[in-house]
Amino acid sequence: MARRKVTVVGSGFVGSTSAQRIFESGLADVCLIDIIEGKPQGIALDLMQAAPVLGVEGAIVGTNNPKDTHGSDVVLMTAGMPRKPGMDRSDLLEINAKIINDVADYVRNGSPNAVVIVVTNPLDTMVYQMWKRTKFPPERVIGMAGVLDSARMRCFLGMELKYGVSDIDAMVLGGHGDSMVPLPRFATVNGISIETLLPKEKIEAINNRTRNGGAEIVNLLKTGSAYYAPSASSFIMVKSIVNNERRLLPAAAFLRGQYGLEGLYVGVPCVIGSKGVEDVVELPLAPAERDLLHKSAEAIRKDIGIIKQKGLLPE
């Protein structure tokens, strides 16, 4: 049986660390592509030289040529411009939408059966852009954010409770940003609700820290942003697709009326397998939770409107 092939687009910290996790796990052969000449080739060669030490079999190639990505089973899109001082949201949307369009074209032409996972920010808008440009069935284009945001919430709960994080489950819905919707009502420690273990003020503080989880790391690093947790979250999604694990994970999925939302990508719990999003799980939200989710969706619609105005979104 031929080995599966995963292309990672972008050899920055998130992309290179994701490529490392996929390659060193033996999950699939990896193609790492970037527009910067020499960088993906150097990273791939370094990882290949680590393979004998770790006992890893398989292949990883670095390239600047989109043809080398052809035949991919999964494409992990990490390339994009981070927001810089003085850059407004409209500027960031325009720059990254153009990058998405370029990648979507060679993915559509060379890997027509691939499942695409988008990590590029602003995430929920960029996954919508990728779907429109590839013209893939929406189930085969997914946004990675919910796994990351939920992992941050689980981490902060573990830090507060002093319990093992492997026993902690949490769910964060909505857009990847300030409007995300942590759901402490559905968070448990080995089946025990956190609402019985922590006072309301502690839970709300953890909710707020979760919403600002990425910004907290940016402020500490001074330059750059998180990549270990984002790459781990990306890897788990790739693994569920390649191995058809059908894991229930929070991710940006295309909604067709679920949660009262239609025609856009929003973070929700979904089953992820070899076909991409194979089912969307609709939680019984309280009115306040549903209002927050709809508010988050409106922020996503606003960003989609911006890229439509700039003529970058296919009809």
Distance CA 298, CA 185 (A): 23
Using an 8 Å Cβ cutoff, are 122 and 92 in contact? yes
For residue 119, give both structure tokens: 């990590």
Cβ-contact 126, 117 below 8 angstroms? no
Residue 127 near residue 75, CB atoms below 8 Å: no
Q: Prior bond to 287 cis, omega within 30?
A: no
Give helix 228-242 / helix 13-25 axis angle, nearest 10°. 40
* Amino acid occupying residue 170: A
State yes or no: is 176 an active-site residue: yes
- For residue 122, whether the previous peptide bond is cis, meaning omega lies within 30 degrees of 0, is yes
CA–CA gap between residue 43 and residue 80 (Å, rounded): 18
Give the Cα separation of 173 and 180 in Å (integer): 6
Using alpha carbons, select from 20, 79, 13, 21 the residue that is nearest to residue 225: 13
In this structure, what is the dihedral angle of CA atoms 109, 115, 119, 121, given to the nearest 10 degrees?
60
Q: Which of 21, 176, 211, 239 is catalytic?
A: 176
| Residues in a beta bridge with 279 | 271
Strands in 221-288 per DSSP E = 247-256, 262-273, 276-280
* Distance of alpha carbon 24 from alpha carbon 10, whole angstroms: 18
Name the residues annotated as catalytic: 176
